[in-house]
Structure 1
Amino acid sequence: MQTQAQDIPKIFPQAEDFLPINGTDYVELYVGNAKQAAHYYQSAWGFQPVAYRGLETGSRDRVSYVLRQGKITLVLTSPLQAGGPINEHINRHGDGVKVIALWVDDATYSWEATTQRGAESCLEPTTLSDEHGQVVLSGIKTYGETLHYFVERKNYQGAFMPGFRPWNPDYRPSEVGLLYVDHMVGNVGWGEMNKWVDFYARVMGFTQLVSFDDKDISTEYTALMSKVMTNGNGRIKFPINEPAVGRKKSQIEEYIEFYNGAGVQHIAVATNDIIHTVTELKNRGVDFLYVPPTYYDTVLDRVGHIDEDLTELRKLGILIDRDDEGYLLQLFTKPVLDRPTMFFEIIQRKGAKSFGKGNFKALFEAIEREQALRGTL
């Protein structure tokens, strides 16, 4: 029995929420070599093989590998021919997120409701069919060249969607405990944050959950501003960042310079055991930002009692923060691509609904150390 959006309780009553969303359906990245990228996400991150599209399935212009862990589905897509929009995207941006697909009960309604409110269409409602049923897709444009697809799959029983076949390799490294996408962060240019905050409120019925200004998110050298948008049931959260004036080039400016525009900065993935997950990821070669040991000298004075062993958290560099509803544990990878653009956040929530405001200074100083090494600070 599939979840229906109306069955999911609304926890943010101020959201207009005319657009019922069940959760994140998948995240599609355009990459230079999908086969090798799939191996990386299998080997380093424990994602499991699900489906494949390529020459063998009749796809002449692109190849895609679909991987899943928990409720997180990644689609890695590469071009098979010279020229065309996928090559153009990779040439301009490097590897990066192209599609944030949202799981809905009615993709046609979702497209009609959002385009009537001013969204620019990128895909009119389209029905894909095979022997396993049908999937309805539609899509709209959002910041930069990022797209939102609406995916209706209540009448489909196949591995992923029509056009794909099951992918069953022998190679299946174990999972690392990732559960679902907690939030996805978009970086936009100077003065563009409020435009996209308004887009998510007006076009998609989201509400603002929290905001941070340059007093909250700054160091001696750099600053940024951020507002977090959420749908009513809280399953989709999109923080939107823009640069703020600082003495040196901020991480947002660096991202926009190398990505050549706005795009997805990081994907936050949830776990119920961050110590296990981060230990596994480090053992498999995933690089994380360095947190100085002095961070832990006073952290418990700030956050109070926690269930975890502080010695273990210090050893792994895991950050801790508390809000009125509980605490959270989080850690950020270094960029997972050659360009200093996209990275991942590992997060474990112990009641907290916030985003680690108390860690911003330590996090930004860690990012600045990496920027200095790259010569981009």
Structure 2
Amino acid sequence: MAAPARRLCHVAFHVPAGLPLAWDLQRLFGFQPLAMREADGWRQLALRSGDAVFLVNEGAGPGEPLYGLDPHHVVPSATNLCFDVADAGAAARALEAQGCSVPVPPVSVRDEHGAATYAVVSSPAGNLSLTLLERTGFCGPFLPGFRPVPSAPGPGWVSHVDHLTLACTPSSSPKLMRWFHDCLGFRHLPLSPGEDPELGLEVAAESGRGGLRLTALQAPVGSDVPTLVLAESLPGVTSGQDQVEQFLARNRGPGLQHVGLYTPNIMQATEGVAGAGGQLLTPPEAYYQQPGKKQQILAAGHEPSLLARQGVLLDGDGGKFLLQVFTKSLFAEDTFFLELIQRKGATGFGQGNIRALWQSVQEHAARVQEGGCSRLS
């Protein structure tokens, strides 16, 4: 373990000037501005909801944006995960000794609130980089170099990041799992009893052709880092590109496909997002007519018709449940999206819901191909 991650600081995006991602996060999902920096051709805005922080890097300066790396990527995307570490310099040296590329060696930044040191490491997951951040001596609202942005309290729909899902090329999950284990201390988190780490959890499509392979990873004990999920397509004939293949094609390679945001009240959050104009994926009609699904929803204390109207999925057993709803893409390229999730004792991701997501995304993709790409706003 070269650089054990202690907590997730933020998820960073790169978008062209004028793309309304920061505004969409505020207007549609209740994030509030936290801090801003405008310099060197970059406009960097940090937004927060609870402990979930997104950093939107807008523009394209001549150098690297502070605390990140400009991937010179051709489409807007989520491009960086920033982790707190105990010693950024030592972590960068240890990773470099393991053969990792460190395009931004340790840099120290200071302002009136204190100092922070960071380094940026390239990952094997496409255009996704990792920032290793040491900020024990900093007491400001975000990071040195950023000025605070006054804002009103948000609606509280989101409390923290629950998980991060990477779309991967076929058969690459074992290699990625070993990299995150050796470099950051992540270890395999079984999603089913007796699961083989090399195989993960296979979720076949209803047609029996194709499907998803999911491999979950958890950070070292004592850390406060969300679960990392690796998703790749299963071999098999499908009627067209599945959502992982579509992401790989439109994102020009692997990357962060979605962020699962935890909400303490998914019905309230879903109502708020939909009321603000956010577009949510519609589950297949048959989802709520599955044998036993009505009884399962009632046993969890929810009304089936209300869940169906809001597009909320529910899965679980033994008195442990989770509820999920998925947004359409935040970008015109139909790549990155968000998930709202509420857990009632369940720690996995719900195989029935994974299958339903698979089918609903496939149906949405078919509609997009017929009528042209749709935007969130």
**TM-score, normalised with respect to structure 1:** 0.85
CA contact (8 A) 1:188 1:240 kept: yes
1:62 paired to 2:42: yes
Quote the offset at 1:217 in angstroms.
Answer: 3.7
Structure 1 residues 312 and 253: alpha-carbon distance in aligned structure 2, compared to 1, 3 A threshold:
same
Q: Which runs of 5+ in 2 are unaligned?
A: 192-198, 371-377
Q: Cα distance, 1:25 vs. partner? A: 0.1
Maintained 8 Å contact 1:79/1:87: no
Partner of 1:251: 243
Q: Which residue of 1 aligns with 2:182?
A: 202
Partner AA of 2:35 in structure 1: A
Query: Counterpart of 1:8?
Result: none
Q: CA deviation at 1:246?
A: 2.5
Q: Report which stretch shifted further, 193-202 or 277-286.
A: 193-202
SS at match of 2:130: strand
Q: Does 1:144 align with 2:132?
A: no
Q: Say what the alpha-carbon RMSD is for the aligned residues.
A: 2.6
SS of 1:203's partner is helix
| 1:166 match | 148
- Residue 103 of structure 1 deviates from its aligned partner by 1.9
In 1, Cα distance between the equivalents of 2:56 and 2:18?
A: 5
Deviation at 1:227, TM superposition (A): 0.7
Aligned to 1:10: none
Contact 2:322 2:345 in 1 (8 A): yes
Q: Tell me the CA shift for residue 76 of structure 1.
A: 0.6
Gap change, CA 1:20 and 1:193, over 3 Å in 2: closer
Q: List per-residue Cα deviations over 1:85-117 (Å, max 9, x = no partner).
A: 988734x2x211111001223222332343333
Q: Distance in 1 between matches of 2:214 and 2:154?
A: 36
Name the stretch that deviates more: 22-31 or 285-294: 285-294
Does the C-alpha gap of structure 1 residues 322 and 311 become closer, same or farther in structure 2, counting only changes over 3 Å?
same
CA contact (8 A) 1:118 1:203 kept: no
The answer to whether the 8 A contact 2:297-2:304 is kept is no
Pick from 258, 265, 270 the counterpart of residue 273 of structure 1. 265
The correspondence for 1:219, drawn from 200, 203, 206, is 206
Matched length = 352
CA contact (8 A) 2:40 2:62 kept: no
Checking the alignment, whether the CA contact within 8 Å between 1:303 and 1:322 is kept in structure 2 is no
SS, match of residue 337 in structure 1 = coil
User: Residues 73 and 88 from structure 1, CA distance in 2 versus in 1: closer, same or farther, beyond 3 angstroms?
Assistant: closer
Given candidates 115, 118, 129, the residue that maps to 2:96 is 115
- Distance in structure 2 (CA, Å) of the matches to 1:120 and 1:304: 51
CA distance in 2, matches of 1:324, 1:154: 42
- The answer for the alignment partner of 2:135 in structure 1 is 153
Aligned-pair CA distance for 1:81:
5.0
Q: Are residues 214 and 155 of structure 1, via their aligned partners in 2, closer, same or farther at CA, if it must alter by over 3 Å?
A: closer
Give the Cα–Cα distance (whole angstroms) in 2 for the partners of residues 61 and 325 of structure 1: 53
Amino acid at match of 1:155: G
Q: Determine whether 1:76 maps to 2:56.
A: yes
Q: Which residue in the other structure is 1:5 paired with?
A: none
8 Å CA contact 2:5–2:185 kept in 1: the answer is no
Identify the range of structure 1 (353-362 vs 66-75) with the bigger mean alpha-carbon deviation. 353-362
Q: Once structures 1 and 2 are overlaid, which stretch shifts more, 75-84 or 331-340?
A: 75-84
- 1:132 maps to 2:113: yes
Q: Percent identity of the aligned residues?
A: 25
Aligned: 1:38 with 2:28: no
Pick closer, same or farther for the CA change 1:229–1:118 going to 2, 3 Å: farther
CA distance in structure 2 between the aligned counterparts of 1:168 and 1:332, rounded to whole angstroms:
30
Partner of 1:188: 168
Letter in 2 for 1:128: V
Alignment-derived partner of residue 355 in structure 1 = 349
Distance verdict in 2 for CA 1:159–1:79, change over 3 Å: same
Separation in 1, partners of 2:139, 2:170: 44
Q: Residues 320 and 330 of structure 1 are in contact (CA less than 8 Å); yes or no, is this contact kept in structure 2?
A: yes
- Cα offset, 1:326, TM superposition: 1.8
Q: After alignment, is 180-189 or 34-43 more displaced? A: 34-43
The farther-off stretch of 205-214 and 227-236 is 205-214
Distance 1:82 1:138, change over 3 A: closer
The CA distance in 2 between the partners of 1:39 and 1:204, in whole Å, is 33
CA–CA distance in structure 1, aligned partners of residues 244 and 133 of structure 2: 30
Distance 1:308 1:260, change over 3 A: same
Q: Is the 8 A contact 1:323 1:354 kept in 2?
A: no
Quote the offset at 1:208 in angstroms: 0.8
Change (3 A) 1:102 1:110: same
**1:369 lines up with 2:356 in the alignment:** no
- AA aligned opposite 2:72: H
Question: Partners of 1:123 and 1:36 in 2: how far apart?
Answer: 28
Distance 2:89 2:70 in 1: 29
Alignment pair present for 1:230 and 2:218: yes
